[in-house]
Amino acid sequence: MALDPVPLADSKVTGGFWKPRQDTTRDVSIPATYAQLAGTGRIDAFKLAWRPGRPGVPQPHVFWDSDVAKWVETAAYSLVTKPDPALASQLDALVDSIVAAQQPDGYLNTHFTAVEPHMRFKNLRDWHEIYCFGHLAEAAVAHFQATGKRHFLDTMTRYADLLDKSFGPASEGKIPGYPGHPEAELALVKMYKATGEKIYLALAKFFVDERGQAPFYYETEAQQRGEPPRPPEPLDRVFARREYHQAHAPIVDTEEIVGHAVRAQYLYAGAADVAREANDAELLAALRKIWDNATLKKMYITGGMGARPDGEAFGRDYELPNETAYAETCAAIALCFWAHRMLNIEADARYADVMERALYNGVISGVSLSGDKFFYVNPLAANLHGKRTLERTTWFGCSCCPNNLTRIELSLGQYVYSTCEAAVYVHLFVEGEAKAKIGERSIMIRQKTVYPWEGKVVITLGMERETEFAVKVRMPGWCKSVAIGVNGTEMDAANVPLEKGYMVLSGAWNDGDVIELLFDMPVERVHAHPKVEADSCRVTLQRGPVVYCLEGVDNGPGLDGIVLPQKAKLLPAFEPGLLGGVVTLAGEALRQDSTGWEGALYATHGTRQQRVSVKAVPYFAWGNRTPREEMLVWIRETQ
Amino acid sequence: MALDPVPLADSKVTGGFWKPRQDTTRDVSIPATYAQLAGTGRIDAFKLAWRPGRPGVPQPHVFWDSDVAKWVETAAYSLVTKPDPALASQLDALVDSIVAAQQPDGYLNTHFTAVEPHMRFKNLRDWHEIYCFGHLAEAAVAHFQATGKRHFLDTMTRYADLLDKSFGPASEGKIPGYPGHPEAELALVKMYKATGEKIYLALAKFFVDERGQAPFYYETEAQQRGEPPRPPEPLDRVFARREYHQAHAPIVDTEEIVGHAVRAQYLYAGAADVAREANDAELLAALRKIWDNATLKKMYITGGMGARPDGEAFGRDYELPNETAYAETCAAIALCFWAHRMLNIEADARYADVMERALYNGVISGVSLSGDKFFYVNPLAANLHGKRTLERTTWFGCSCCPNNLTRIELSLGQYVYSTCEAAVYVHLFVEGEAKAKIGERSIMIRQKTVYPWEGKVVITLGMERETEFAVKVRMPGWCKSVAIGVNGTEMDAANVPLEKGYMVLSGAWNDGDVIELLFDMPVERVHAHPKVEADSCRVTLQRGPVVYCLEGVDNGPGLDGIVLPQKAKLLPAFEPGLLGGVVTLAGEALRQDSTGWEGALYATHGTRQQRVSVKAVPYFAWGNRTPREEMLVWIRETQ
Residues of B in contact with A593 (CB under 8 A): 530
Q: Which of A132, A400, A479, A549 is catalytic?
A: A400
Task: Yes or no: say if B70 and B33 are a contact pair by the CB < 8 Å rule.
Answer: no
Q: Identify whether residues B65 and B79 lie together within a single domain.
A: yes
Strands A498-499 and A381-382: unpaired
State how far the Cα of B247 lies from the Cα of B265, in Å rounded to an integer.
Answer: 13
CA angle at residue B319 from B318 to B322, to 5 degrees? 115
Residue B53 has pLDDT above 90, yes or no: no
Candidate from A381-390, B69-78, B441-450, B480-489 with smallest mean pLDDT: A381-390
- Catalytic site residue from A129, A183, A312, A637: A312
The reported pLDDT for the residue numbered A527 is: 96
Where residue B617 falls among pLDDT bands split at 50, 70, 90?
very high
B615 in the same domain as B579: yes
Residues of B in contact with A633 (CB under 8 A): none
| pLDDT, position B38 | 97
**B237 touching A, CB under 8 A?**
no
Q: Measure the CA–CA gap between A525 and B606, rounded to whole angstroms.
A: 9
B319 has a chain A CB within 8 A of its CB? yes
Residue B589 resides in a domain: yes
Q: Inspect the interface and report whether the beta carbons of B527 and A606 lie closer than 8 Å.
A: yes
Flag whether A2 is in a domain: no
d(CA A334, CA A359) in angstroms, rounded, equals: 11
Name the minimum distance, in Å, from the CA of B512 to any CA of chain A. Answer: 38
Peptide bond before residue A52 is cis, with ω within 30 degrees of 0? no
Q: Do B607 and A530 touch (CB under 8 A)?
A: yes
Nearest CA in chain A to B295: A601
- CB of A256 within 8 Å of any CB in chain B? no
Rounded distance between C-alpha atoms, residue A168 and residue A178, angstroms: 9
When CB atoms are compared, the residue of A525, A536, A593 closest to B560 is A536
CA distances from B359 to A101, A302, B367 (A): 70, 44, 12
C-alpha distances out from residue B585 to B445, B520, B556, B558, Å: 33, 16, 16, 19
Report the catalytic residues of B.
312, 400
Contact residues on chain B for A536, CB-CB shorter than 8 A: 537, 560, 636
| Contact of B109 with B124, CB cutoff 8 Å | no
Domain match, A427 and A575 both: no
The DSSP annotation for A525-577 comes to: EEEE-TT-GGGTTEEEEEETTEEEEEEHHHH-S-GGGEEEETT--EEEEEETT
Contacts of A296 in chain B (CB under 8 A): 599-601
> End of a domain among A494, A519, A544?
A519
Same domain for B391 and B425, yes or no, is no
Q: Report the number of distinct structural domains present in chain A.
A: 4
Contacts of B258 in chain A (CB under 8 A): none
Q: What single string gives the DSSP state of each residue in A113-131?
A: III-GGGTTT-TTTS-HHH
Instruction: Write the ipTM.
Output: 0.93
Q: Tell me the C-alpha distance between B295 and B303, whole Å.
A: 8
Q: Does B301 sit within 8 Å of A602, measured CB to CB?
A: yes
- Model confidence at B235, pLDDT cuts 50, 70, 90, reads very low
pLDDT of residue B388: 67
Question: What distances in angstroms separate CA B161 from CA B119, B136, B158, B198, one per listed residue?
Answer: 19, 14, 5, 11
Which residues, listed in sequence order, are joined to residue B592 by a DSSP beta bridge? B609
Please indicate, yes or no, whether residues A186 and A249 belong to a single structural domain of this protein.
Answer: no
Mark whether A400 is an active-site residue.
yes
Share above pLDDT 90 across residues of chain B, in percent, rounded to a whole number: 89
> Is residue A569 domain-shared with residue A506, that is, in the same domain?
no
**A contacts of B602 (beta carbons < 8 Å):** 301, 526-529
Tell whether A336 and A460 lie within a shared domain. no
Residue A270 lies in a domain: yes
**B385·A319 Cβ contact <8 A:** yes
For chain B, how far is it from start to end, CA to CA, in angstroms? 48
Rg (CA), chain A: 25
What are the φ/ψ torsions at residue B224 (nearest 5 degrees)?
-65, -30
Residues B366 and B445 reside in one and the same domain: no
Q: Give the pLDDT of residue B397.
A: 87
Residues of B in Cβ contact (< 8 Å) with A525: 604
Q: Supply the range of the domain harboring residue B63.
A: 32-211
Q: Are B546 and B524 in contact (CB under 8 A)?
A: no
pLDDT of the residue at A397: 87
pLDDT of residue B606: 85
Of A61, A67, A3, whose CA–CA distance to A36 is shortest?
Answer: A67
Q: Which of B527, B529, B606 has the CB atom closest to A527's CB atom?
A: B606
In a domain, residue B12? The reply is no
- CATH of residue B447: 2.60.40.1180
Determine the Cα angle at B208 with ends B202 and B214, to 5°: 115
How far B258 CA sits from the closest chain A CA (Å)?
A: 14
pLDDT of residue B224 exceeding 80: yes
Give pLDDT, residue A501.
98
Q: Is residue B27 part of a domain?
A: no
Cα–Cα distances in angstroms (integers) from residue A89 to residues A74, A86, A147, in the given order: 14, 5, 11
Q: Do B404 and B449 have their domain in common? A: no
Q: How far is CA A373 from the centre of its chain?
A: 17
Q: Mean of the pLDDT values across residues B611-634?
A: 96
CB atoms B597 and A529 under 8 Å:
yes
Cα pseudo-dihedral B564, B570, B574, B579, rounded to 10? 0
CA gap B100, B104 in Å, rounded: 10
Mind giving me the DSSP string for B480-547? S-EEEEETTEEE-GGGS-EETTEEEEEEEE-TT-EEEEEE---EEEEEE-TT-GGGTTEEEEEETTEE
Judge whether A336 lies within some domain.
yes
- Which residues of chain A make contact with B389, given a CB cutoff of 8 A? none
- Rounded to whole angstroms, the Cα distance separating A568 from A613 reads 11
- Strand A562-565, strand A635-638: pairing: parallel
B113-142 tens-digit pLDDT: 999 999 999 999 999 999 999 999 999 999
Of A295, A524, A601, Cβ closest to residue B604: A524
Q: Report the alpha-carbon angle B73-B79-B81, nearest 5.
A: 110
B149 and B76 fall within a common domain: yes
What is the Cα–Cα distance from B362 to B210, expressed in whole angstroms?
32
CA of B271: how far to CAs of B159, B184, B189, B288, in Å? 21, 11, 10, 11
Per-residue pLDDT, A387: 59
Q: Which residues of A touch B605 (CB under 8 A)?
A: 527
Question: In Å, how far is B539's CA from the nearest CA of chain A?
Answer: 9
pLDDT tens, residue by residue, B187-218 = 999 999 999 999 999 999 999 999 999 999 99
Question: At how many degrees (to 10) do helices B400-410 and B30-39 cross?
Answer: 150
Residues 6+ apart with CB under 8 A from A129: A62, A109, A111, A112, A120, A121, A123, A179
Cβ of residue A523 closer than 8 Å to a chain B Cβ: no
The secondary structure of residue A232, as a DSSP letter, is P
Residue of B nearest to A357 (CA): B602
Which chain B residues are within 8 Å of A319, Cβ to Cβ?
A: 385, 387
To test the contact with chain A by mutation, choose from B602, B608, B636 the residue with the greatest count of A C-beta atoms within 10 A, namely B602
- B524 vs A: CB within 8 A: yes
R_g of chain B, CA atoms, integer Å: 25
B601, A639: Cβ pair inside 8 Å?
Answer: no
Closest partner residue to B387 (CB to CB) among A316, A386, A605 is: A316
Measure B555 CA to nearest chain A CA, in Å: 17
Establish if B11 belongs to a structural domain: no
Cross-chain residue pair B296–A601, CB shorter than 8 Å: yes
Residue of chain B with shortest Cα separation from A298: B601
A628 Cβ under 8 Å from any chain B Cβ: no
Instruction: Return d(Cα A32, Cα A65) in angstroms, integer.
Output: 18
Cβ pair B385:A531 closer than 8 A: yes
Give the C-alpha separation, A342 to B596, whole Å.
26
Nearest to B602 among A384, A528, A638 (CB): A528
Nearest Cα residue to A392 out of A375, A369, A371, A370? A375
Taking 70 as the pLDDT cut, the residues of chain A under it are 229-240, 385-388
Q: Whole-angstrom Cα distance, residue B469 to residue B515?
A: 14
- Amino acid (1-letter code) at residue A243: E
Contact at 8 Å (CB) between A439 and A422?
yes
Nearest Cα of chain A lies from the Cα of B416 at a distance, in angstroms, of 24
The CA–CA distances, whole Å, from B554 to B395, B591, B616 equal: 28, 14, 8
Last residue of a domain, one of A365, A390, A415: A415
Structure confidence at residue A233 (pLDDT): 45
Paired strand residues for B591: B562, B610
Is A171's Cβ below 8 Å from some Cβ in B?
Answer: no
- Comparing B540 with A323, the larger pLDDT belongs to B540
Q: Is the domain of A198 the same as that of A255?
A: no
CB-based contact B564:B554 (threshold 8 Å): no
Q: Hey, which residues does A25 pair with through a beta bridge?
A: none
Examine the domain organization and report whether B534 and B505 are in the same domain: no
**Residue B525 to residue B502: CA distance in whole angstroms:** 25
Report pLDDT for B59. Answer: 94
Q: Has residue A535 been placed in a domain?
A: yes
Closest CA to B66 of B121, B5, B132: B132
- Tell me the count of A-B CB pairs closer than 8 A: 119
Residue B96: per-residue pLDDT = 98
Q: What is the pLDDT of residue B238?
A: 61
Give the three-class secondary structure for A502: strand
Burial of A79 (0-12, 13-18, 19+ CB in 10 A): buried
